[in-house]
Amino acid sequence: MPKYSFATAATVDEAVRLLNEPEVRSIPLGGGTDIFVALRVNPLWFDRLVDITHVPELHHIGVADGVVSIGAAVTFTQALESELLQGVAPFLACACENVGGPAIRNSGTLGGNVANAAACADSLPALVCLDAVVHLLSPAGERALPISEFVSGPHQTNIQPGELITHFSFAQPPAGARSAFIKIGRRRAQSISRLSIAAIGTTNAGGAIDYIRITPGAATPKTIRFTPVEDMLKGQPPTRELFVRAGEAMSAEMISVTGRRWSTPYKEIALKAITERVLAAIFLQEAQPC
Amino acid sequence: MLIQFTLNNQPVAVEAPSDITLLALLRDHLRLTGSKEACEVGECGACSVILDGELVNSCLVAAPQVSGRSVITIEGVRAPDGGPNDMQQNFISYGAVQCGFCIPGMIMAGEALLLKNPQPTRQQIRVALAGNLCRCTGYQQIVDAIEATAKSRARQRA
Ligand code: FES
Ligand code: FES
């Protein structure tokens, strides 16, 4: 007897119906890059996989009325190759380029990355910077909540049984916004983030920073924007000296959330350094990793 | 359950359990053992195959997920006479093969790259191989062999 069964959904409605059939614990299957790894270490937690990767809407990337939407089954490769995303949110495309190796990027999906909610999930910092909204569908109807509320901790989300993530949406960032993503792993490719950072910002006609969002990844249990640091940057002319202070403030903010832990001596220095680099990439036009 | 798909350009229909991976389907049910089983968690690339034109780790694909789709495995990569194709020949002549365990995956990654990008830079070749581990060669010769293949195919097209 197989340990679990398999079904393929052709439409979003069919996926939701299959996920909610009584007495069959069903979970959506995207790229499988997390599920098949977890299956090797965890006891079986479902009776059926529902393949959602054939649902056309779930692969949609588009913009309407200034709102960008990305389907849950969009793969990292589709996201990083999307001209729309390269244009409106290059740091999200860059984060997707940093995921795993090519085979993982061809299979793994943004919906899966967010649903799995690893603290080190590469797509999270950029999505949190963008104040992305997670759209969910269940027999009860649609539900939408901000990504920083949806992901409540490492491998913890507020998804309810039977709910399917259909897509993410975010307001198109201001024209002229520049963004960057930096990841530190043990090696360049196929590595898990030890620490990462995403930021997006603009300066006004007077040369002062007038829009800035900054979110570190794998720094705090919940991936959140560091708004106190954003506030200290706003209204200031972008200088190296300011970015050094911002780096110190980022580390201080991280420690105020996590306390001092075994990894703090490393992360304190590393977060400071990548903060300076990400801000220099955006505001001082310094070379970006991608 | 019955899984029907196109394998190395031939239609196949195979009865298999619903709870296995594509790698197990290939190796245990179709007796195609060229795709190697190693880490089984997507870290090493030894199990790489091309699914609808894109490189994937077959250890992370559910077997029924390939229904109606096209899979190319290392067994499907060969010269018309059944011998090694140009890339495989280059792996031999550039000394890119030692124990050989990673090589089916390396060839699939190389072929998948050239499908998408027929004239890659060395850096692009390295990025394309980022998910494939080799414990023997140090990669240099593998990059050389793929680069030489891309160049000779470009010459042939010209
Ligand atoms: S066996 Fe599939 S990636 Fe290692
Ligand atoms: S040749 Fe031995 S692992 Fe690559």
- Report whether residue B133 contacts ligand 1, using a CB cutoff of 6 Å: no
- Residues A68 and A47 reside in one and the same domain: no
Q: Are B123 and B129 in contact (CB under 8 A)?
A: no
Return the best residue to mutate from B49, B59, B101, B102 for the ligand 1 pocket (most ligand atoms within 8 A of CB). Answer: B59
* Residues 6 or more apart whose Cβ sits within 8 Å of residue A21: none
Looking at A119, A147, A171, the residue that finishes a domain is A171
pLDDT of A59 > 90? The answer is yes
Number of domains making up chain A: 3
* A181-238 pLDDT, tens digit each: 999 876 555 556 689 999 999 999 999 999 999 999 999 989 999 999 999 999 999 9
Instruction: Label the pairing between strands A5-8 and A48-51.
Output: parallel
Q: Do A3 and B48 touch (CB under 8 A)?
A: no
List the domain range (segments joined by +) for residue A46: 5-51
pLDDT score at A136: 98
**Under CATH, which number does the domain B86-157 receive?**
1.10.150.120
Ligand nearest to the CA of B136: 2
Start and end residues for every CATH 3.10.20.30 domain found in chain B? 2-76
> How many angstroms away from the CA of B46 is the closest CA of chain A?
11
Q: Is B134 in the pocket of ligand 1 (CB under 6 A)?
A: no
Which of chain B's residues have a Cβ under 8 Å away from the Cβ of A5? 18-19
**A232 contacts A250 by C-beta, under 8 angstroms:** no
Q: What is the CATH number of the domain that holds A38?
A: 3.30.43
Q: Of A131, A152, A171, which residue sits at a domain end? A: A171
Q: What is the pLDDT of residues A60-97, one digit of tens each?
A: 999 999 999 999 999 999 999 999 999 999 999 999 99
Return all residues near B158 (Cβ < 8 A) that are at least 6 apart.
none
The reply to whether residue A103 touches residue B1, judged by beta carbons under 8 angstroms, is: no
Cα separation, A175 vs B41, whole angstroms: 41
Residue of A nearest to B67 (CA): A8
Q: Which candidate from B41, B56, B112 shows the least CB-CB separation from A107?
A: B56
Please state the CATH superfamily assignment of the domain spanning residues B2-76 in this structure: Beta-grasp domain (3.10.20.30)
Residue A289 domain-assigned (yes or no): no
Question: Does position A255 have pLDDT exceeding 80, yes or no?
Answer: yes
